[in-house]
């Protein structure tokens, strides 16, 4: 059995399936996770739900567990400091980062199959024609791009020559784009379409470009506080089990097929840039290359299997 402790910010987080909520005091392991950055930020829900499956798969040998979501919204750098201490949060799903790799316990299984590395661009509707004329990487690089200040994709884009306009605040980037501070706002295909829907009442001029796909090797790993090796072992073992029994792919495709189909990757102009922070060999060291998303896959057939 699993506990998910409800908090005001995440009132929509609920016990699913056969799970029974029990008092937190009975839990053997407590997974303390970061909250979303705002009420519009749904990026972490998949990571909470995946951890639910991990715990279910390891109940027999590790015992019952609880997931707690912190009340404190924090920047990525503060999340790192909190993880080092292991009090407020002790587990977080985050993009691969050398500092995090060295000072925390990384579980190097890319839990989003690299999907966030396939970047489409949110743009102003008046700039659709500009993007339609982009046929080379140098033309794309010449357009000012927006990014979170602490995002790993920012380093890759800067290394490739992009001029990146930054903000530390997630919501503010959409306002900056609408105000014309930059032309392109690269988002993973698992993010862009949902964000357009979430922000359309505030920024009806924003759309997803349907021409370009930028591939940046990106991995999201679970990172665990250095004083919690048991939690790290449980996560890695649980991930291996649900990958082997098919439950990982079931959850992944149920949550991502809409975006995979909408992105129409096979009909886009694709540019790939290197990521100085991520090694593709490292991404596949535990799970193999076939685990990652292949943009040439027939997602229509694949997604029918999981719906």
Note the pLDDT of residue 2: 46
Cα→Cα distances 245→111, 175, 193, 225, 240, Å = 15, 43, 30, 28, 9
Q: How many CA atoms lie within 13 A of 199 on its CB side?
A: 27
Residues 48 and 84 in one domain: yes
User: For residue 33, is it within any domain?
Assistant: yes
H or E stretch covering 140: helix 137-141
Residues 108 and 120 in one domain: no
Residues 42 and 173 in one domain: no
User: What is the domain-level CATH number for residue 150?
Assistant: 3.40.190.10
Inter-axis angle of helices 247-263 and 45-57, nearest 10: 160
User: For residue 188, is it within any domain?
Assistant: yes
Residues 226 and 237 in one domain: yes
Residues 145 and 172 in one domain: yes
Domain that holds residue 148: 115-215
Indicate the pTM of the whole model: 0.80
CA distance 31 to 27: 10
Residues 116-147: pLDDT tens digits? 999 999 999 999 999 999 999 999 999 999 99
Residues 99 and 33 in one domain: yes
Residues 12 and 104 in one domain: yes
Note the pLDDT of residue 44: 81
CA distance 167 to 169: 5
Residues 51 and 126 in one domain: no
In sequence order, the β-bridge partners of residue 172 are none
Note the pLDDT of residue 277: 83
* Cα of 13 vs its chain's centroid, Å: 18
Residues 153-207: pLDDT tens digits? 999 999 999 999 999 998 999 999 999 999 999 999 999 999 999 999 999 999 9
Residues 64 and 206 in one domain: no
Q: Are 211 and 130 in contact (CB under 8 A)?
A: no
Residues 162 and 235 in one domain: no
User: For residue 81, is it within any domain?
Assistant: yes
Residues 103 and 241 in one domain: yes
How are beta strands 145-148 and 220-224 bridged, if at all?
Answer: unpaired
Residues 263-273: pLDDT tens digits? 999 889 999 99
Mean pLDDT of 203-232: 96
Q: How many domains, in total, are found in the chain?
A: 2
Note the pLDDT of residue 233: 97
Residues 18-39: pLDDT tens digits? 333 333 434 589 999 988 766 6
pLDDT band at 1 (very low <50, low <70, confident <90, very high): very low
- Percent over 70 (pLDDT), the chain: 90
Residues 64 and 187 in one domain: no
Note the pLDDT of residue 151: 87
């Amino acid at each position: 059995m699993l506990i998910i402790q409800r908090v005001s910010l995440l009132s929509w987080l609920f016990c699913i399936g056969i799970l029974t909520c029990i008092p937190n005091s009975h839990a053997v392991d407590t997974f303390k996770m970061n909250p979303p950055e705002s009420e519009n930020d749904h990026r972490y829900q998949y990571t909470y739900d995946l951890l639910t499956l991990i715990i279910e798969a390891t109940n027999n040998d590790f015992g019952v567990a609880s997931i707690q979501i912190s009340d404190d919204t924090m920047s990525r750098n503060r999340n790192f400091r909190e993880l080092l201490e292991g009090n407020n949060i002790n587990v977080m799903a985050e993009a691969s980062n050398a500092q995090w790799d060295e000072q925390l316990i990384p579980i190097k299984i890319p839990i989003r199959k690299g999907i966030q590395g396939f970047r489409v661009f949110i743009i102003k509707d008046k700039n659709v024609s500009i993007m339609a004329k982009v046929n080379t990487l140098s033309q794309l690089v010449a357009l000012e791009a927006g990014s979170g200040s602490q995002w790993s994709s920012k380093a890759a884009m800067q290394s490739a020559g992009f001029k990146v306009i930054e903000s530390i605040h997630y919501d503010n980037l959409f306002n900056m784009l609408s105000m014309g501070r930059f032309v392109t706002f690269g988002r993973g295909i698992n993010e862009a379409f949902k964000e357009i829907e979430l922000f359309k009442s505030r920024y009806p001029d924003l759309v997803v470009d349907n021409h370009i796909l930028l591939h940046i090797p990106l991995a999201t790993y679970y990172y665990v506080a250095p004083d919690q090796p048991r939690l790290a072992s449980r996560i890695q073992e649980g991930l291996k089990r649900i990958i082997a029994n098919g439950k990982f792919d079931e959850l992944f495709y149920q949550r991502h097929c809409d975006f995979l189909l909408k992105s129409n990757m096979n009909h886009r102009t694709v540019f790939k840039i290197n990521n100085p922070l991520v090694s593709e060999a490292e991404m596949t060291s535990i799970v193999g290359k076939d685990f990652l998303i292949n943009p040439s896959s027939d997602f229509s057939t694949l997604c029918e299997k999981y719906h």
